[in-house]
Structure 1
Amino acid sequence: MKKFYTLIILFLMALNLQAQAIYKTLDSYKLGGERKLKIQLPRNYSVDSETTYPLIIVLDGDYLFEPVAGNIDYQAYWESIPDCIVVGINQVNTRKDDFINNIDGVAVTEENNGFYDFINVELLPYVEENYKVSSFKIIIGHDLGANFINYYLFEDSPIFRAFISLSPDLVPEMVNKLQERLAVLQQETFYYMATADADLKALRNDIIDCDAKLKSIENEKLNYMFDNFNDANHYSLVGRGIPRALNEIFQLYKPISREEYKEKILTSQDSPYDYLIKKYENMAYFYGFEKTLIENDIRAIASASNKKDDIESLEKLAILVSEKFPRSMLSAYYMGMFHERDGNLKKALLKYKSGLLLEPSQYIDKEIMLDKMYEVQDAMKN
């Protein structure tokens, strides 16, 4: 089993080579020296585009960057999560000094606020100034780093919206203070924590205790998830926790699934079209950027509109698709579908014919357009 997860991590690291990796050195006056950064940009990243991307800050980037960046690249390729900008901080020679913790677990001290301020005052402004970053930011840490990321929760307005805590080495009183803080958060926050059956015993006991207290929190603004992996240790749990956390954090972003279609769209009081609009508006609110309408979701909403015999919803969808994809066969296909369902076969036939001159999509090509034309022509004869 351990070999299996090792192979997965190696695969993701190899896949990551296809993305744009940048190595930078940032001169820090807060730390009195230089810090090396690893930066991964999305495959389709362009300085000329208006698109912005969630930012992921990875502590211990010397060993944690590749597993995170590989997962991001892989899942974004399949549209399971959005493209993200990933920044790893190399701490191979400085991690103990960086992660010196205050004994009360509430605030950083004079000794270690240099690294804390480095992220807040130097790193984040640098990344925001040079790259197209959205307002949605994630921070990831492992053991000492996983404890350290909690300090950003104690800010009046936390700059990070999602926290991935992998086998945290929790300082005294952090559990109680963390429970108190998460209970009163006023903005939507994702918090993921993981341990494993073969995790370090000294850490595992505190983590289990922490999970019990965090699970008791009643705060609709908090999205909390915990994993206790079997057949994993302090290090291998990282390879399993990262994709689980990303999957949870970007749950709202995912394409419409069969379960969502059956359990939410078909049973919703809203029309299928209104459901789609709300879904994309919620994504923009949560993640700070607008997701491009994808064909999977168009198909699902069209199917639901037909199943619920909601012609108005189908018409609105067809208009939206025409606006978003004017040069694609999608625009002609769904407008033709609307006219066909509305009983205007002549207009439907004209739309399907016009689609032959447009660009094919992921699912719609000339063969499908011709099939629809023949179907309508046969219907017009009867």
Structure 2
Amino acid sequence: MAIPGIKDVILTLLFSVLVSSGLAGSVSAQSADQPPVEVAATDVGLDEATGGDSVSEADAQALTEPVPEAEEKQAYGFLQSHSVFSKVLDEERRYKVYLPASYYAKPDYNYPVLYLVDGDYNFLSIAAMVENLAKGNNPLIPEMIVVGISAKGIASYRNNMQPSLPLGKGGDADDFLSFIQDELKAEIRQHYRSSGFDILEGQSIGGLFVVNSLLTNSDSFSAYIAISPMMWWESYRMEGKVEDYLKKIKAPTKKLYLSLANEPRMGVYGLVEQLDRHRPPAVDWDFKHFSQENHDSVTLPALRHALKDLFAGWYISYKDLAAYENFDAVRNHYQGYLQRFNLQQAIPAYTYKALMHQYPKEEKAEKAASLYLQTTQHLPLSLIDLRNHLAALAIKEKEYDKAGELLQASFKENANDFSVQQAISKWHRAQRQWDEAEEAASNALALAKQQLQRDWMIAILEDELAEIRERK
């Protein structure tokens, strides 16, 4: 893809000004819950790339220190198991945690949290689905943390899920909700980078718990997902309470997702009818009937539907992106989106690639400068992705000095980002600087392993390193 005028326009208007201005600096300090990662070593040839700009003593030291091997991976695994003592329940409760792929690589990020009340049964399959929805160039949802709450046997689980009844009958759902709301959430927020946007999910009797939680304490979560909820419980007893409960729910509006498989007499249609009749302004509800699924198989399609709808707008298709008048509109969309979910993440990298592809040849350099300025000022966590893409475009046009300036800025901001080291390796490789390319590729691979990147990414980095060594 040609970028005519990139030397005159971007270098003059942008890189020599912004890179030296400090506008692209790091936005926050390293989180305490990140694994220990040392500054990556790589000889990026910064003096040549930046026209003789000096390298600080700290940078010079970083260029010569090797990256240590990852230590105690299990202690920092992305699938974890913990326990917390609940004063409300007067017992120890176990829970599992899934952390997204970026968690240790991006210490400035925070994440929505999905709480599964039947965490033993569906934790692994749901965590895998969440990762699949959030990965790659075209993520449909932001990355998120998943917390699976372990049960203490069937009898205990059923008791935790059932609302209380007069004369001491029913279960202790109110206490269990207090445990999640007051104790487990505090534990998660203390040890993990939660955004504060919390989602509660349950199926069958767990779905009954989810519905009851919304009706009795609508402030407990931001969104509720009830999959084939057992609304027939106690001869459809909940149905008689719904109308009174709906009147008590106040703003802000909560999102409720209801679903049903190919099963009769679950009582879900009774709840749907009441929601449709009363239309509570503080409940934005959605119902979907999965007629081709059974009570067990409905979990993943129902949850996938709910998450895609809840986070709609995170991914903007190429066709829809063309409808935006300019990047101002795209930036405003994502700024509003991040604010709505209290989210700190980079926007999908695909967005920049699609935008640059759509711009006419004669406007590409000017548009690139505008993208850089606006991203620096309004979407700073997306800067590394944008720089990597612009550097790749500059490399394609053999504008190696311009690519070097971009990578220099990213290196100074976060030398421990494996994608920066990967981009630096490609930059050296394009100039046939094989030793430097190999060193940067080795650093990228070491960092990716330290930061628990997934096997598919490790395989890509290993393949790139092997190809470099073959060419030397």
> TM-score, structure 2 length as denominator?
0.59
Matches within 5 A, 1:104-123: 111-123=172-184
Structure number having the greater strand percentage: 1
Q: Which moved more, 1:38-47 or 1:87-96?
A: 38-47
CA distance in 2, matches of 1:47, 1:210: 44
Are the aligned partners of 2:242 and 2:274 in contact in 1 as well (CA < 8 Å)?
no
**Alignment-derived partner of residue 45 in structure 1:** 103
CA distance in 2, matches of 1:182, 1:222: 10
CA distance in 2, matches of 1:285, 1:219: 25
Q: Does 1:190 align with 2:250?
A: no
CA distance in 1, matches of 2:357, 2:106: 36
Q: Which moved more, 1:73-82 or 1:222-231?
A: 222-231
Q: Does 1:96 align with 2:150?
A: no
CA distance in 2, matches of 1:240, 1:153: 22
Alpha-carbon offset, residue 257 of structure 1:
0.3
Q: Does 1:84 align with 2:144?
A: yes
Amino acid at match of 1:42: P
Q: Which moved more, 1:310-319 or 1:91-100?
A: 310-319
Q: Does 1:25 align with 2:87?
A: no
Alpha-carbon offset, residue 318 of structure 1:
4.1
Alpha-carbon offset, residue 168 of structure 1:
0.5
**Alignment-derived partner of residue 355 in structure 1:** 403
CA distance in 2, matches of 1:45, 1:111: 35
CA distance in 2, matches of 1:30, 1:159: 16
**Alignment-derived partner of residue 202 in structure 1:** 265
**Alignment-derived partner of residue 8 in structure 1:** none
SS in structure 1 opposite 2:304?
helix
> TM-score, structure 1 length as denominator?
0.71
Per-residue CA shift, 1:76-119, capped at 9, x if unaligned? 22322222111111123311211222459xxx989443212111
Match of 2:242 among 169, 174, 177: 177
Alpha-carbon offset, residue 296 of structure 1:
1.5
SS in structure 2 opposite 1:159?
coil
CA distance in 2, matches of 1:304, 1:175: 56
CA distance in 2, matches of 1:177, 1:77: 39
Q: Tell me: CA distance 1:304–1:185, structure 2 relative to 1, closer, same or farther (3 Å).
A: farther
Are the aligned partners of 1:329 and 1:356 in contact in 2 as well (CA < 8 Å)?
no
Gaps of 5+ in 2: 1-75, 408-418, 432-472
Amino acid at match of 1:141: G
Per-residue CA shift, 1:16-49, capped at 9, x if unaligned? xx97111112221211211111111122323981
SS in structure 1 opposite 2:292?
strand
Q: Tell me: CA distance 1:184–1:31, structure 2 relative to 1, closer, same or farther (3 Å).
A: closer
Are the aligned partners of 1:55 and 1:86 in contact in 2 as well (CA < 8 Å)?
yes
The alignment yields a C-alpha RMSD, in angstroms, of 4.1
Paired residues in the alignment total: 327
Per-residue CA shift, 1:274-324, capped at 9, x if unaligned? 2111111122122111331333212333455549x8998665224335772
**Alignment-derived partner of residue 126 in structure 2:** 68
Are the aligned partners of 2:113 and 2:195 in contact in 1 as well (CA < 8 Å)?
yes
Amino acid at match of 2:257: Y
Identical residues among aligned pairs (%): 20
Q: Does 1:226 align with 2:293?
A: no
CA distance in 1, matches of 2:357, 2:249: 41
Q: Which moved more, 1:57-66 or 1:92-101?
A: 92-101
SS in structure 1 opposite 2:334?
helix
Greater relative CO (CA pairs within 8 A, separation 6+): 2
Q: Does 1:242 align with 2:300?
A: no
CA distance in 1, matches of 2:318, 2:240: 38
